[in-house]
Structures are given as structure tokens and as C-alpha cells.
């Protein structure tokens, strides 16, 4: 691999009250390339509890002036941020390359995530007129205006898998609602997100957007439990989400939790199974090495089409090249970190030991690289026992169980037999039937004849049921999450 000049290790800092600064004591931690675990990508600032307090206090001080702006004025800030993020193509390419090296996902995906972040800022800015309209109730008995107001300082906690896209689902919404913000990116993917957040923060008044990087074990609880934090929006695992909710409850701080998913897809007997459909299934399951909350994670196929689906997906998977995400021929990069790599390997080996037909597919670009990095080929588990972890739990890696069903009632029952309820998909050319089936699925979002990020409409609210979380991100509703309703009443004939 050719080493670029910009591949030298970098150091990122915190951003608090309009200024970039090191963490207390100039502490940092190292981030390595998951494709080449011996390769140091950079050093991220390791914030302390003192830094958390500084960031929250800065946001609290900036809140009154920011909240006093009109929706149009805040929308103008968001639009200018969106333009600024992509104004310098060389800068976008450099941050995307850095993102690829610290995360592992292929360069095409990092470029996509980096270049389209601004789209969600522009979309959120477009809600200004709608947000500015109060609801009016005429008397008797009273005239009442139902309006909304921002909550205050919002803490946004972002995971490592799609940090910029997930930021775009909550950051512009929090700002548009009138809140000031403290963002904590994941410990495992902090460099490119920190640089990108700093670019945004410099476009805003000091204190409106503050950035903390570091260990969740050290700064997570101090941030969530801080008495000046008035709302917490967390995306991550179920276990950590429960902990966040319990810590926030100490101050009765409301939360939005977007947690795990074990998304089911139902392939009906009349599904159109052409190369395009198989590629959409592949992308739904294996994009970003399967490390997406909304990824297709359980594939239920009508028994009459089971062999066709297995053959079609096998063909697509075998064309994929697994390797370093920076290389042009690579279709799938490594899993992000050693812990997740062990988890996905354990799930696969459990299924294999139980007698499941495990198909590890795809092409290995460099066997030595594969053996030493956190790689896993795209893997299909054919008709595994439904009680195995590969079916019951969120794999969060490139492994997909495929199970047959006899009736659509059976398929719905199997899809709903999960503690998760994030996303789902239905595959049939009969859209009336597709919608009818979708309405029976216990999921916050259902895709038709596709699945995952490529099928996501950012205008719609996103979130889940059951263990998949509380509340919604994205869309107009995602802005409302960051506000509280305020009713104003007077005698009939005085307000409306």
C-alpha cells in the first residue's frame, strides 16, 4: 500500500467554548488501524471530569442567546454549516481517508458518510416554517396556545460504526430545536469525527457546540449525570443504554435511546429475485461489514424460494473482496475492533459447533493481512437452530442467518419473536400486501424490497420498540424530541 503524506499520525483535541484545546494534563490515547492493528493512526484527546464540566458550563452559558434566535436564524446557521462541510474537496478526501484508517470501513463508504452529512443539516433547516407554527385552541373554556421550547444543554453520545451519519440524525435537530450541545464521539472512532465537529463548531457562536473525546468509563457518567444537562440522546448497545437511562434518572433527565437491532426481512413467495434484488440484500446485510444497527440480520425466506435466495446471495458474496478499505478493489473492510471481532467469530463458531451449515464466502485480497487484522469474510448460516445467538442476538458483523418459512403468518411470528424492534423489510412486488405485512411487524421502520441505509428516508422518524430503544431521531419528529411542550391559556377571545 502506498503511504500518503497525510497518513502520518495526527493528534486531535477537545473543542470547548469556541476554542480547540488539549485535555486536562494534555492526556491522549492511541487509535490504531483495524486492518493493520500495528499501525498507529493518531492520538485523540482523553478528556477528564473537569473537561466535562467545562464543556457543559460553556453550553449552559451559550444557551439563552442561542434559544432566543428564531427558527429561521438557526436554520441559516445549519445551511451554512452544510455548505462549509463540503466546500473543500481536498479536505473532505483527507478526512475520509483518515476515517477509513481509524474505522476500517471501505473508502467509498467513508466518502459517502462524510460528503452527505450536510444533507441532514439542510433537511433539518427546511423545517423552520413548520416548527415556528404554534397550535391554537379557541375557547370556551379557554383560549390556549400550545408551543414548544428547547430543553437546554443536550448531551449527544455517538457510537463508532456510523458516527457522522448518526450525528446527522441528532445534532442538527438538537441545534434547530434551540438547544446547545456537548457531543461525545466513540472512543474507537474519534479522530475524523472530532475534526469534522470542530469545523461545524467554528461556524457557530462559542459554546453552542462542544466536543469531548475520551473513555466512556471516565467521562460518560459525569456527562450524563451533570445537573446542567437537560437532555441525553444516546446511540449504542442495549446494555450501555440501560446504564445511561439509570444514570440520567438520578436527575430525571429525559433520554432518547437508539439501541440495538436484530432486523428481520421477509422474502415472500412472489418476490422478484433478480441480480439487483440480491445486491440490495447483500448491501442491507453486509454494508460496513454488517456493523450497522439497521442492517438486515435475519433473513426469512418462503420455502419455495429458499434455494434461489441462498444461491443468489452466495454468488454476490463470492464476488466481494475482503481487505484494506483504502484499496480500490476492496468491497469489505475489517471489523472495527478486537472485541467486536471476537464477538462475531464466537457467534459463527457457536453456530458451526451446533451443526449449522456455515458458508464463509468472498475473496481474501491478502492472506497475511487478513490473518493479522480484524477481518471476517461475509458469512451465511443456512437454516440454523432459531435458538442460536446468530439468530437471537444482534451479530453486528458480517454474518447472516437464512431460515425458511411456510406461511406469511409464520414469517411474521418469527420476525416478531425477538427482544429487538428496530427495522424490518418485506420483499414482494405486491405493495398492498407488503404494507399490510409491514403493519404487523414490531419495528420502528420497515423497508420494502430493500433494507438499510440505502433505503432510508431521512424525512421519516427513526427509532425502535422493545430493547431497540426509546424515542426517535431524524425527521421533524427528531427535532421535537429536543423540546418540551408549553401551554399558554387565557380567557376566551384573548389569544385566538
Of 100, 268, 293, 423, the active-site residue reads 293
Cell numbers linked to 394: 444482534
First-last CA distance in the chain:
69
Residue 252: CA atoms inside 13 Å, Cβ hemisphere, count? 0
CA distance 28 to 6: 20
100 is catalytic: no
Cell numbers linked to 217: 468509563
Cell numbers linked to 66: 442561542
Q: In this structure, are residues 280 and 314 in contact, taking their beta carbons and an 8 Å threshold?
A: no
Give the list of residues 6+ apart from residue 33 with CB closer than 8 angstroms, or none.
39, 40, 41, 101, 102, 104
CA distance 235 to 160: 10
Q: In this structure, are residues 105 and 459 in contact, taking their beta carbons and an 8 Å threshold?
A: no
Q: In this structure, are residues 373 and 35 in contact, taking their beta carbons and an 8 Å threshold?
A: yes
CA distance 117 to 489: 40
The DSSP line for 398-456 is SEEEEEEESSHHHHHHHHH-SSEESEEEEE-S-HHHHHHHHTTS--SEEEES--SGGG-
Of 102, 109, 113, 258, the active-site residue reads 258
CB atoms closer than 10 angstroms to residue 420:
27
The DSSP line for 26-65 is G-EEEEEETTEEEEEEEEEE---HHHHHHHHHHHHHHHHH
CB atoms closer than 10 angstroms to residue 317:
25
Q: CA gyration radius for the chain?
A: 23
CA distance 290 to 305: 24
Burial profile 297-313: b = 16 or more Cβ within 10 angstroms, e = fewer: bbbbbbeebbeebbebb
258 is catalytic: yes
From residue 379, alpha-carbon distances to 282, 345, 390 in Å are: 11, 10, 11
Kindly list the catalytic residues. 258, 293
Amino acid at each position: 500500500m502506498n503511504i500518503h503524506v497525510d497518513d502520518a499520525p495526527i493528534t486531535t483535541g477537545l473543542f470547548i467554548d469556541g476554542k480547540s484545546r488539549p485535555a486536562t494534563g494534555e492526556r491522549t490515547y492511541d487509535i490504531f488501524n483495524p486492518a493493520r492493528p500495528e499501525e498507529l493512526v493518531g492520538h485523540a484527546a482523553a478528556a477528564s471530569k473537569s473537561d466535562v464540566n467545562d464543556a457543559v458550563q460553556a453550553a449552559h452559558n451559550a444557551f439563552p442567546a442561542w434559544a432566543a434566535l428564531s427558527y429561521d436564524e438557526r436554520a441559516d446557521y445549519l445551511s451554512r454549516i452544510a455548505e462549509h462541510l463540503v466546500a473543500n474537496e481536498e479536505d473532505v478526501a483527507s478526512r475520509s481517508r483518515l476515517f477509513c484508517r481509524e474505522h476500517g470501513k471501505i473508502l467509498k463508504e467513508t466518502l459517502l458518510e462524510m460528503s452527505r452529512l450536510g444533507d441532514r443539516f439542510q433537511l433539518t433547516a427546511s423545517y423552520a416554517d413548520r416548527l415556528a407554527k404554534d397550535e391554537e385552541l379557541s375557547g370556551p373554556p379557554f383560549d390556549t396556545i400550545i408551543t414548544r421550547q428547547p430543553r437546554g444543554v443536550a448531551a449527544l453520545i455517538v457510537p463508532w460504526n456510523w458516527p457522522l451519519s448518526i450525528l446527522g440524525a441528532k445534532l442538527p435537530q438538537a441545534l434547530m430545536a434551540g438547544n446547545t450541545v456537548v457531543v461525545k464521539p466513540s472512543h474507537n472512532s474519534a479522530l475524523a469525527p472530532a475534526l469534522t465537529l470542530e469545523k461545524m463548531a467554528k461556524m457557530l457562536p462559542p459554546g453552542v457546540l462542544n466536543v469531548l473525546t475520551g473513555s466512556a468509563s471516565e467521562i460518560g457518567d459525569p456527562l450524563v449525570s451533570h445537573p446542567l444537562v437537560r437532555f441525553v440522546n444516546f446511540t449504542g448497545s442495549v446494555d450501555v443504554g440501560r446504564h445511561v437511562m439509570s444514570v440520567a434518572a438520578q436527575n430525571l433527565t429525559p433520554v432518547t435511546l437508539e439501541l440495538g437491532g436484530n432486523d428481520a426481512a421477509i422474502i415472500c413467495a412472489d418476490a422478484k429475485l433478480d441480480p439487483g434484488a440480491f445486491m440490495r440484500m447483500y448491501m442491507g446485510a453486509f454494508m460496513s461489514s454488517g456493523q450497522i444497527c439497521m442492517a438486515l440480520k435475519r433473513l426469512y425466506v418462503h420455502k419455495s424460494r429458499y434455494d434461489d435466495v441462498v444461491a443468489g446471495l452466495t454468488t454476490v458474496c463470492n464476488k466481494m473482496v475482503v481487505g484494506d478499505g483504502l484499496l480500490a478493489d476492496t468491497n469489505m473492510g475489517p471489523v472495527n475492533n478486537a472485541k467486536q471481532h471476537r464477538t462475531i467469530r464466537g457467534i459463527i463458531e457457536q453456530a458451526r459447533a451446533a451443526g449449522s451449515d456455515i458458508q464463509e464466502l468472498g475473496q481474501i485480497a491478502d492472506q497475511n493481512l487478513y490473518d493479522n487484522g480484524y477481518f471476517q469474510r461475509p458469512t451465511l448460516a443456512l437454516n440454523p437452530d432459531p435458538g442460536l445467538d446468530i439468530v437471537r442476538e444482534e451479530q453486528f458483523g458480517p454474518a447472516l442467518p437464512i431460515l425458511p418459512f411456510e406461511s406469511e403468518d409464520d414469517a411474521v411470528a418469527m420476525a416478531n419473536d425477538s427482544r429487538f424492534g428496530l427495522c424490518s423489510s418485506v420483499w414482494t412486488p405486491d405493495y398492498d400486501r407488503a404494507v399490510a405485512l409491514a403493519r404487523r411487524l414490531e419495528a420502528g421502520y420497515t423497508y420494502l424490497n430493500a433494507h438499510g441505509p440505502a433505503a432510508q428516508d431521512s424525512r421519516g422518524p427513526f427509532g425502535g420498540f422493545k430493547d431497540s430503544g426509546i424515542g426517535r431521531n431524524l425527521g421533524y419528529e427528531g427535532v421535537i424530541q429536543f423540546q418540551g411542550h408549553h401551554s399558554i391559556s387565557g380567557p376566551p377571545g384573548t389569544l385566538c
